[in-house]
Amino acid sequence: MHSDAFDRYHHKNSALHRLDPRIKVVVTIAFILSNALLPDGAWMAFALSWLFLLLASALSNLGLGFTFRRSFIALPFALAAVTVLFSVPGNLLFQFHFMLSDFTVTDAGLLRFVSIVIRSWLSVQMAILLVAATRFPDLVHAFEHLRVPAILTTIIAFLYRYLFVLTDEVIRLLRARQSRSAAAPGHRPCRDVVMQRLYMARVAGNMAGQLFLRSYERSDRIYNAMLARGYTGQLRTLNAHVMKSSDWLFAALSAILILFLQLIGRL
């Protein structure tokens, strides 16, 4: 099994793909911060923010709907924000009775809820675009340039490298469990549901312990192999990042656009 289903990079030859990873990271974070700083109900500014996102999508050759299709991942979390509907004082919109409590939805609560969901939705899409248009090692390298400690970026690089290897290992473990978990139709291996659940939790725990030992022993071999190839405690890259004039241009345009939409949002 090839578990490169994890890789979120989409190979395309586009202006956004060629952009310096550092610029892409900084602009993405500035974009998310700018969304957070916009006041509730700044619809014009939200629309401009969305336009910015669409422009970036257009530059990426991935299609305008690309980020939209993947943007529902943060939606379940909106459930936590639903509670804000009932907690902001304002004019009463409607009221309902549920589980012994009266819930009152106010216009201010609704405004706040919709604003939170829009902000979060825009931010998630920009992050999706960043990862789709930047190779992960370049991304990690960019974070290193942005002063993230080397030990962390190295761990992250290793995590990414061995994620695929260990996922294959997990898939083998899961397949082995499945092939040994047969039961005749209508026959329950264990009458007592609680004992059965405990048993299954123990099997999962044994698998986790097994995976731990395999990973631990593998890391030894990896270290020895690295030493054999001249590892001195530092990872090197051929991909030296050099800022081109197009990078500076994109950064400047993004900064102007973000300042402009902040201005619109506050007027």
Partner 1 sequence: MHIPDNFLSIIISMICWAITIVTLGVAISRTNKTLGERQVPLMGVMAAFIFAAQMINFPVAGGTSGHLLGGALAAITLGPWAGMLVMTAVIAVQGLLFQDGGLVVMGANILNMGLVTVALGYGLYRSVIGQSRITKLTAAGIAAWLSVLAGALLTSLELWLSGTAKLQLVIPAMLGIHALIGLGEALVTVAALSFILRTRPDLLGEQSASAQGGRGWVVAGVLIALAVVLLSPFASANPDGLERVAINMGFIQTGQPAPYQIIPDYTIPFLGATPLSTIVAGAIGVIIVSAIVFMAGRSLQTRKS
* Residues in region 46-105 near partner 1 by CB under 8 A: 70, 73-74, 77, 80-81, 83-84, 86-89, 95, 100-104
**36-44 long-range contacts, Cβ below 8 Å, gap at least 24?**
36/119, 36/123, 37/262, 37/265, 38/115, 38/119, 38/261, 38/262, 38/265, 39/265, 39/266, 40/111, 40/112, 40/115, 41/111, 41/115, 42/115, 42/264, 42/265, 42/266, 44/264, 44/265
| Window 107 to 146, contacts with partner 1 (CB under 8 A) | 112, 116, 119-120, 123-124, 127-128, 131, 136, 139
Q: Supply 87's token pair.
A: 């907690």
Q: Kindly state the smallest distance separating residue 245's Cβ from partner 1, in Å.
A: 27
Alpha-carbon distance 107 to 130, whole Å? 35
Asked if 174 interacts with partner 1 (CB under 8 A), we say: yes
Q: Supply 39's token pair.
A: 């006041």
Which residue number, 43 or 212, has a Cβ lying nearer to partner 1? 212
| Total of residues contacting partner 1 (CB under 8 A) | 86
| Window 234 to 263, contacts with partner 1 (CB under 8 A) | none
Q: Kindly state the smallest distance separating residue 144's Cβ from partner 1, in Å.
A: 13
Q: Kindly state the smallest distance separating residue 237's Cβ from partner 1, in Å.
A: 16
- The single residue among 1, 64, 170, 256 that binds partner 1, judged by CB under 8 A, is 170
Q: Supply 224's token pair.
A: 């020895």
Give 247's contacts (C-beta < 8 A, 6+ positions apart).
19, 20, 23
Asked if 176 interacts with partner 1 (CB under 8 A), we say: no
186: left (phi over 0), alpha (psi -120 to 50) or beta: left
- The single residue among 201, 252, 255, 256 that binds partner 1, judged by CB under 8 A, is 201
Asked if 226 interacts with partner 1 (CB under 8 A), we say: yes
- The single residue among 58, 59, 166, 264 that binds partner 1, judged by CB under 8 A, is 166
Choices 24-32, 43-51, 55-63, 256-264; region in contact with partner 1 by CB under 8 A: 24-32
